[in-house]
């Protein structure tokens, strides 16, 4: 048995996270709608370059059954241009302000690897969750910041950074390496008093197509952490470079992989296409009620 393999008995039947005093039950998986405030997202329909466009997108997410949104102002697609912290904030603050004004109770995650951005997002705009693609590697202050803010933290694996991550990624054993990486980071977070941790294997972040599918095949191994699992495969190259096409033609493949992820224990699906993901959640839940 490999060192990261565990029995299903270690899996809790449900999870919850504390979002600014609200206990969010994850025993029924949730759908997180992507709100990209960037000019260079890998998916054209994911690019929102005005407050008005962002608000329209949020309304769509809610109408289609989304449970929460993830707002990002720094593109993390492979080879994306580096954006200075000032520019990230300039894009982010007006949108967060407008969202909070229109939907004061909406669960909001902010996608950032910068501690100061996280601090202001939570302190001034009441953001509920911090989603860090770097697991604290790109800003040494992030773990201490999250501990001080006392908000749920999405801990994602990445090899390298958005500018370099797809330059010949290599692993001895991709599942084992990712699990051990996350285990070490979880220990660091818990030593600081962070208890609400959501784990994300980081599909597409420093992985080849084969790495991604090996992780998906072994997704149940992440149950060992007894923590909520987030899966983000929406319209990624692991789909269209394998079966052909482009991001715009990858909805069906996304739905297939989201369904597989749910059957393997995913508790949050981070997606562009909310209606289809919400339907996946309902259908998979129905099969388990029989």
Q: What is the DSSP string of 104-127?
A: TT-EEEEE-S-HHHHHHHHHHH--
Asked if residue 85 is part of any domain, the answer here is yes
Asked if residue 55 is part of any domain, the answer here is yes
Asked if residue 227 is part of any domain, the answer here is yes
- The verdict on pTM exceeding 0.85 is yes
Give the CATH number for residue 109: 3.20.20.20
- Angle made by CA atoms 96, 100, 101, in degrees to the nearest 5: 115
Beta strands in 43-196 (DSSP E): 68-72, 107-111, 129-132, 153-156
Q: Which ranges of the chain have pLDDT less than 70?
A: 1-14, 40-49, 77-80, 161-165, 290
The Cα–Cα gap between 116 and 89 comes to: 10
**236 has catalytic annotation:** yes
- For residue 138, give both structure tokens: 């790109």
Find the helix packing angle between 174-191 and 142-149, rounded to 10°: 50
Predicted local distance difference test score (pLDDT) of residue 170:
85
Nearest alpha-carbon partner for 19 in 228, 285, 223: 228
Asked if residue 282 is part of any domain, the answer here is yes
| Residues 181, 184, 187, 192, CA torsion sign | negative
- Angle made by CA atoms 23, 203, 18, in degrees to the nearest 5: 10
Q: Which is catalytic among the residues 270, 275, 286, 288? A: 270
Distance from the Cα of residue 144 to its chain's centroid: 20
Asked if residue 203 is part of any domain, the answer here is yes
**270 has catalytic annotation:** yes
Asked if residue 12 is part of any domain, the answer here is no
Q: Which is catalytic among the residues 30, 91, 236, 267? A: 236
Predicted local distance difference test score (pLDDT) of residue 180:
96
Asked if residue 260 is part of any domain, the answer here is yes
Predicted local distance difference test score (pLDDT) of residue 47:
54
Q: Which residues contact 148 (CB under 8 A, 6 or more apart)?
A: none
Asked if residue 11 is part of any domain, the answer here is no
- Which structural domain, as residue segments, surrounds residue 95? 27-289
What's the total number of domains in the chain?
1
The number of helices, as runs of H, and strands, as runs of E, in the chain is: 9, 10
């Amino acid at each position: 048995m490999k060192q990261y393999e565990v029995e299903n008995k270690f899996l809790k039947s449900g999870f919850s996270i504390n979002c600014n005093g609200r206990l969010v039950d994850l025993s029924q998986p949730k759908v997180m709608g992507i709100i990209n405030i960037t000019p260079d997202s890998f998916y054209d329909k994911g690019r929102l370059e005005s407050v008005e466009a962002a608000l329209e997108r949020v309304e769509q997410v809610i109408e289609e059954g989304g449970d929460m949104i993830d707002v990002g102002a720094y593109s993390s697609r492979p080879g994306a241009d580096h954006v200075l912290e000032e520019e990230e904030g300039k894009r982010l603050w007006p949108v967060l302000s407008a969202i909070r004004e229109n939907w004061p109770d909406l669960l909001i995650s902010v996608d950032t690897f910068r501690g100061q951005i996280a601090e202001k997002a939570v302190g001034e705009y009441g953001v509920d969750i911090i989603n860090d693609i770097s697991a604290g590697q790109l800003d040494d202050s992030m773990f201490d910041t999250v501990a001080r803010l006392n908000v749920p933290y999405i801990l994602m694996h990445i090899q390298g950074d958005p500018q370099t991550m797809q330059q010949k990624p290599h692993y001895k054993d991709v599942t084992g390496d990712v699990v051990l990486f996350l285990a070490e980071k979880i220990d660091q977070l818990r030593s600081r008093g962070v208890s609400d941790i959501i784990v994300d294997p980081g599909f597409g972040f420093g992985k080849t197509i084969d790495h991604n599918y090996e992780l998906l095949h072994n997704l149940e191994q992440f149950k060992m952490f007894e923590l909520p699992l987030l899966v983000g495969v929406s319209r990624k190259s692991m789909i269209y470079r394998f079966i052909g096409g482009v991001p715009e033609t990858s909805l069906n493949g996304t739905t297939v992989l989201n369904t597989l992820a749910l059957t393997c224990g995913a508790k949050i699906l981070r997606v562009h296409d909310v209606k289809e993901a919400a339907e996946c959640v309902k259908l998979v839940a129905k099969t388990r009620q029989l």
